[in-house]
Amino acid sequence: MGRILVPRKTICGNTVIIKGSEAHRIANVLRKKAGDVIELFDGSGRQYRAKIALINNGNSKSIEAIITEEKRVPVADTAIKISLYQCIPKGEKMDWVVQKCTELGIYDITPVISDRTVVRPDPAGLAKKIRRWERIAVQASEQSGRSTAPAINRAEGFGSLLERTGGLSGRVMLWESETGLHLGEYLKKQKGNLMDIGLMIGPEGGFSREEAERAEKSGFVRVTVGKRILRTETAGLIAAAIIMYNAGEIG
């Protein structure tokens, strides 16, 4: 049964009103009807079972459902919070990054603009992309059984990102020119003391040496995940999986 994310503000007593794309999904994709039971979660640690009371098929589709069961679940999806700093790739690659990293359990995602980032949309275009990535993250959370959807943060320049991430217990940059320190070795040295970690992934052309040096001076540790150079849309997922494995989340 598909799970649907509903904002807490849409719940009043034991009644929930579902609108927009989620109402469309329930009625047209899952093909639910009045009387059917649906699974809901609000992103704050509550899950619900609800029975559909009414489906409004007017110009603005909406569904009214009655909550029949409520339970609390742990808000934290993983023992370690991974913040992905992904330099924006070309085309629809970021869609894939958001979807798969959400399924894996990423805590939040920040689109980054670095020296070699090709995609540099105007503010309106970037806002549209972020809304799309937010929808993808919600859908992937519903599908994968997460209790929360990862935040898609506003896009940042490389320099400003370096300045604001110092509070994390660990920060790593995946850099294709790094050969000395493997990500797995770095994690073992931390001996399980990482509660949160920032993961920096470059664009198609990689990070410049100047950027790598700036990142290191600001506290990022440059690491590799192996001998082969990965595509930007693959690198973050592989690195996140290694972090999750070392934290005992997968494997």
pLDDT at 44: 74
Q: Residue 43: inside a domain, yes or no?
A: yes
Same domain membership, residue 193 and residue 242: yes
Contact 154, 121 (CB under 8 A): no
Q: Which residues pair with 142 in a beta bridge?
A: none
Phi, psi of 48 (to 5 degrees): -135, 150
pLDDT at 6: 87
- Residue 38 DSSP class: E
What are 97's two structure tokens?
């990054």
Same domain membership, residue 58 and residue 95: no
Rounded to an integer, what is the distance from CA 97 to the centroid of its chain?
Answer: 8
Global pTM value: 0.82
Tell me the residue type at 171. Answer: R
Same domain membership, residue 94 and residue 45: no
Q: Above 90 in pLDDT, residue 121?
A: no
**Domain termination site, one of 24, 45, 72:** 72
Q: Which element (helix H / strand E) includes 87? A: strand 81-87
Radius of gyration of the chain (CA): 20
CA dihedral 107, 153, 239, 214 (to 10 degrees): -130
Pairing of strands 46-56, 62-72: antiparallel
User: Which CATH number does the domain housing residue 118 bear?
Assistant: 3.40.1280.10
Find, among 195, 134, 168, the residue nearest to 7 by Cα. 134
Same domain membership, residue 63 and residue 85: no
Same domain membership, residue 66 and residue 86: no
Q: Which element (helix H / strand E) includes 188? A: helix 183-190
Q: Residue 113: inside a domain, yes or no?
A: yes
Compute the distance between CA of residue 195 and CA of residue 201 in angstroms, rounded to an integer: 20
Tell me the residue type at 137. Answer: A
* Lowest-confidence region among 65-74, 99-108, 175-184, 231-240: 65-74
Model confidence over 14-26: pLDDT tens digits? 999 998 888 888 9
Find, among 192, 233, 221, 227, the residue nearest to 87 by Cα. 233
- What percentage of the chain carries pLDDT values higher than 70? 96
Q: Above 80 in pLDDT, residue 97?
A: yes
Q: Which element (helix H / strand E) includes 121? A: none
Q: Report the half-sphere exposure of 235 (CA within 13 A, side-chain side).
A: 30
Compute the distance between CA of residue 211 and CA of residue 213 in angstroms, rounded to an integer: 5
Domain containing residue 44 = 3-72
Same domain membership, residue 56 and residue 163: no
Total count of domains within the chain: 2
Q: The dihedral of CA 27, 30, 35, 41: what is its sign?
A: negative
What number is the average pLDDT over the span 71-100?
Answer: 87
Same domain membership, residue 237 and residue 121: yes
Q: Above 90 in pLDDT, residue 96?
A: yes
Same domain membership, residue 106 and residue 61: no
Contact 44, 22 (CB under 8 A): no
User: Would you say how long the chain is, in residues?
Assistant: 251
Contact 223, 173 (CB under 8 A): yes
